[in-house]
Amino acid sequence: MIKELLEDAKKNAQKNAVSIWRGDLTTLDCDAIVNAANSTLLGGGGVDGAIHRAAGSELLHECADLHGCTTGAAKITFGYSLPASYVIHTVGPIYNADGDIAAQRLELASCYQSSLDLAYKHHLHSIAFPAISTGAYGYPVEEAARIALLTCTAWLNAHPDYGMNIILTCFNSAVLNAYQAIIAAAQKGELE
Ligand code: APR
């Protein structure tokens, strides 16, 4: 499955792209960066804290007017002092190994889908994601990376002529290694 999606995405490479990048996404000068927020949208730690610190207090003021966000949904604000023009805030699932794994998988996929749909609605053409839910929310990195890559490549293949540059950012080697392993396996046809 992912192999075909990656091949299709490559065919549209002149318009669409998905790449893996190691670093701090608050430094990226793209149309939008995605925040792995919580449902209050009033800031937190991790990438949420980093984005709010880099954006400045105006971001919190705009977020306060959004009245929160449900898991899997996405809302957009300006980027203020960030290099990125916009921040798309999404709320990932809190991983629960004893819970409904299929539902959590769908919620995480929805974070990527909703963020991409919102970027499309606002005519944006470059978007950087953190590895949503893999920090404080405890989602297993390998599975989260697989969901991210599958959802993003499927979105690109559903919008072949749009021209969206998706950057999947890795803030640590575990996430980087997970993405690289999935892409390598897909290219060898070892993933369905
Ligand atoms: N740039 C890119 N990625 C980052 C950055 C950064 N500056 N800072 C952290 N990350 C990565 C983490 O290493 C992790 O892989 O973002 C991923 C998501 O981790 P968290 O930020 O902890 O987000 P999440 O697991 O979705 O938990 C969300 O944590 O910060 C709170 O308010 C937030 O309650 C919410 C919860």
**pLDDT band at residue 16 using 50, 70 and 90 as cut-offs:** very high
Nearest CA to 17 out of 25, 9, 28 is that of 9
Delimit the domains of the chain by residue range: 2-187
Distances (CA, A) of 12 to 5, 55, 59, 139: 11, 33, 35, 31
Whether the per-residue pLDDT at 15 is higher than 90: the answer is no
Query: Do 95 and 140 meet the contact criterion of CB atoms below 8 Å apart?
Result: yes
Query: Do 134 and 46 meet the contact criterion of CB atoms below 8 Å apart?
Result: no
* pLDDT for res 32: 98
Ligand 1, residue 169: give the atom nearest the CA.
Answer: 2
Residue 133, token pair as written in the block: 């839910």
The CATH fold assigned to 2-187 is: Leucine Aminopeptidase, subunit E; domain 1 (3.40.220)
The pTM (predicted TM-score) of the whole model is 0.93
155 CB less than 6 Å from ligand 1?
Answer: no
169 CB less than 6 Å from ligand 1?
Answer: yes
**pLDDT band at residue 106 using 50, 70 and 90 as cut-offs:** very high
Query: Do 147 and 108 meet the contact criterion of CB atoms below 8 Å apart?
Result: yes
- Give all strands of the β-sheet with 74-78 in edge-to-edge order: 17-22, 165-170, 126-129, 32-37, 86-91, 74-78
**pLDDT band at residue 129 using 50, 70 and 90 as cut-offs:** very high
* pLDDT for res 192: 54
Residue 115, token pair as written in the block: 């963020």
Angstrom distance (rounded) from CA 192 to CA 186: 8
State in Å: Cα 136 to ligand 1 middle: 7
Angle between helices 141-158 and 173-187 (to 10 degrees): 60
**Mean pLDDT in the chain?**
94
| Percentage of the chain exceeding pLDDT 90 | 87
